[in-house]
Amino acid sequence: MKPFTIVEAVAAPMRADNIDTDQIIPARFLRTPRKQGYAGFLFHDERFDAEGNENPDFVLNRPAYRDAQIIVAGRNFACGSSREGAVYALADYGIRSVIASSFSDIFFNNALINGLLPVRLEHAQVEQILDLLEAQETGVVVKVDLVNLQVRAGDLAFGFRLDGLKRRCLLEGLDEISLTLTYASQIAAFEDRHYGRLPWLKRVGEAAPEA
């Protein structure tokens, strides 16, 4: 995983609540092998018309936001389907961080595991950033700092929270699986207790008939 420490880049404003993962990546693209890249699928049906030409009004197609690496959105960003393709599309396109008032729980985890930083701010703070971005003809550079847990945009500076395992893995570019494998003895000890208490739970599946 690509580590995340500090990103300073143009931020694209998407002033909307409930931007769902079906919009971020329509389902028909999810059968594409991961290694082929997902950049072209990001917001596909809004970004392109039926002939595949860019929709000039879509925010990421506007000249000011061509180099955006940050998206600023409203409440409940990436709700709906758990499809991790939404994160792949954002990351492959070059988005490093999404700032929003809230995120769906599944997307929040998916993003962190893939080096995309979801930053939760108060809705009023998000609106101040959106106001700032929309007031300029050109792209505004926003700084997202995971080391100091701070977002800076113009004169605005807001702290955000992210701690524990996910932050550590993101800062260091670590994969959780390798960390969890070091817990093998705790997992085995847990299973001894769990199935000692609920022996029938272990037998379910083992003794059950094949379909």
Partner 1 sequence: MASTLFDKIWQSHVIATTEEGDTLLYVDRHLLHEGSRTPIEKLDDLGLGIARPGQTFGTADHYVPTAGGLDSLAADQRRMVEIFDTNMDRFGIRAWRLGTGRQGIVHVVGPELGLTLPGTILVCGDSHTSTHGALGALAFGIGASEVAHVMATQAIWQRKPKAMRILLHNDLPKGVSAKDVILFIISRIGVSAAAGHVIEYAGNAFSAMSIEQRLTVCNMSIEAGARAGLVAPDETTFAYLKGRPFAPKGADFEAALAYWRELRTDEGALFDREAVLDASEVAPMVTWGTNPGMAVPVGQKIPSFAMAKSADEQKQWQQALDYMGLEAGAPLLGVPIDQVFIGSCTNGRIEDLREAAAVARKGRAKVPALVSPGSGTVRAQAEAEGLDRIFIEAGFEWRGSGCSMCVGMNGDLVGFQKRSVSTSNRNFVGRQGVGARTHLASPALAAASALEGRIADVRTYL
Contact status: 30 vs partner 1 (CB under 8 A): yes
Candidates 27, 39, 147, 157: give the one binding partner 1 (CB under 8 A). Answer: 27
Shortest distance in whole angstroms from residue 54 CB to partner 1: 17
Burial of 122 (0-12, 13-18, 19+ CB in 10 A): exposed
Q: Please list every residue from 166 through 195 that binds partner 1, using CB under 8 A.
A: 166, 175-177, 180-181, 183, 186-187, 190-191, 194
Shortest distance in whole angstroms from residue 126 CB to partner 1: 12
> Whose Cβ is closer to partner 1: residue 155's or residue 208's?
208
Contact status: 61 vs partner 1 (CB under 8 A): no
Shortest distance in whole angstroms from residue 152 CB to partner 1: 25
CA–CA gap between residue 120 and residue 149 (Å, rounded): 11
The alpha carbons of the chain give a radius of gyration, in whole angstroms, of: 20
Q: Please list every residue from 89 through 118 that binds partner 1, using CB under 8 A.
A: 102-107, 109-110, 113-114
Tokens of 175: 């994969």
Asked if 13 and 67 touch (Cβ cutoff 8 Å), the reply is no
Helix (H) / strand (E) containing 73: strand 70-73
Contact status: 81 vs partner 1 (CB under 8 A): yes
> Whose Cβ is closer to partner 1: residue 53's or residue 66's?
53
Q: In the sheet where 70-73 sits, what is the strand order? A: 117-120, 97-100, 70-73, 6-14, 141-145, 150-153, 156-159
Q: Please list every residue from 135 through 164 that binds partner 1, using CB under 8 A.
A: 163-164
DSSP string covering 88-102, please?
HHHHHHT--EEEES-
> Whose Cβ is closer to partner 1: residue 8's or residue 46's?
46
List helix spans (H) across 94-198. Answer: 105-113, 123-135, 164-172, 176-181, 184-197
Shortest distance in whole angstroms from residue 17 CB to partner 1: 7
Shortest distance in whole angstroms from residue 32 CB to partner 1: 8
In the chain, the amino acid numbered 153 is A
Residues that bind partner 1 (CB under 8 A): 16-18, 20, 22-23, 26-28, 30-35, 45, 50, 74-76, 79-84, 87, 102-107, 109-110, 113-114, 163-166, 175-177, 180-181, 183, 186-187, 190-191, 194, 198-201, 203-211
